[in-house]
């Protein structure tokens, strides 16, 4: 019996109308867990990300700092209200339809995001997606160390983590695998799958998609 087809979805600016990591930092400022200077630094990082020039080590140290020394339960008391108040209105209903269409066909859905798993996992639960990859976060003695687990789920790292997940779930190759993403940062995985889909792509990804004949999907931002 053949395996179900696999549909992989990026999260930020693909399923969401916006970036969850970026929104999380601003939320932490708004609830006084970070000071206002964090918003300025956050703006600098998001520009680098969109240009494909993000120093992920530096960014992750910045993004995980508020959770350093906290247990997972303590972190969830911060993140779960964020998902309800901030992420919920960001979910693109047209992206949800793409997910539901794959689900109705019996496909396996995998959420794969460079955002850290502390944020991605609760969002996956809200989206009712069972399989999820995010950048891993290190815990020592049940407390967040403030460090991420290499490889990150960005660029080549996302490809490696997806390959590891696929092997664990008996997917031997990228045949009949679809990947939806908006970002040039996801080029390695887009190049690997049989069916790459550029969703509201950034300028660089749109140009490459047009050159290679990849499907470009324009979703209304509502």
Q: Is 10 a catalytic residue?
A: yes
Q: What is residue 24's three-state secondary structure?
A: helix
Crossing angle of helices 72-82 and 20-30, rounded to 10° = 100
The residue from 12, 21, 186, 202 that is catalytic is: 12
φ, ψ of residue 188 to 5 degrees: the values are -55, -45
Crossing angle of helices 37-50 and 56-64, rounded to 10° = 150
H/E stretch holding 216 reads strand 215-217
End-to-end CA distance of the chain: 40
| Tokens describing residue 221 | 């931002």
Spatial separation of the C-alpha atoms in residues 25 and 42, rounded to whole Å: 7
Answer positive or negative: Cα dihedral of 130, 180, 44, 32: negative
Spatial separation of the C-alpha atoms in residues 113 and 10, rounded to whole Å: 5
The residue from 5, 10, 35, 48 that is catalytic is: 10
CB 178 within 8 A of CB 197: yes
Q: Is 30 a catalytic residue?
A: no
Spatial separation of the C-alpha atoms in residues 221 and 124, rounded to whole Å: 20
Active site residues: 10, 12
């Amino acid at each position: 019996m053949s395996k179900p087809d696999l549909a992989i979805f990026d999260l930020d600016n693909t399923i969401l109308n916006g970036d969850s990591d970026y929104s999380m930092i601003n939320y932490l400022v708004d609830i006084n867990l970070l000071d206002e200077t964090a918003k300025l630094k956050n703006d600098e990082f998001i520009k680098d990300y969109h240009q494909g020039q993000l120093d992920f080590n530096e960014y992750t140290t910045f993004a995980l700092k508020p959770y350093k020394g906290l247990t997972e339960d303590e972190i969830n008391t911060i993140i779960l209200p964020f998902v309800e108040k901030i992420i919920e209105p960001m979910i693109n209903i047209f992206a949800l339809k793409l997910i539901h269409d794959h689900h109705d066909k019996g496909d396996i859905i995998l959420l794969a995001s460079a955002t850290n798993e502390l944020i991605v996992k609760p969002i996956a639960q809200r989206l009712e997606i069972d399989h999820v990859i995010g950048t891993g976060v290190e815990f020592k003695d049940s407390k967040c160390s403030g460090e991420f687990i290499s490889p990150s789920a960005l660029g080549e790292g996302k490809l490696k983590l997806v390959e590891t997940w696929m092997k664990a779930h008996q997917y031997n190759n990228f045949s009949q695998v679809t990947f939806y993403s908006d970002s040039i940062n996801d080029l390695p995985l887009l190049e690997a799958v049989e069916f790459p889909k550029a969703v509201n792509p950034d300028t660089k990804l749109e140009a490459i998609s047009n050159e290679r004949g990849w499907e470009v999907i324009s979703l209304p931002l509502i």
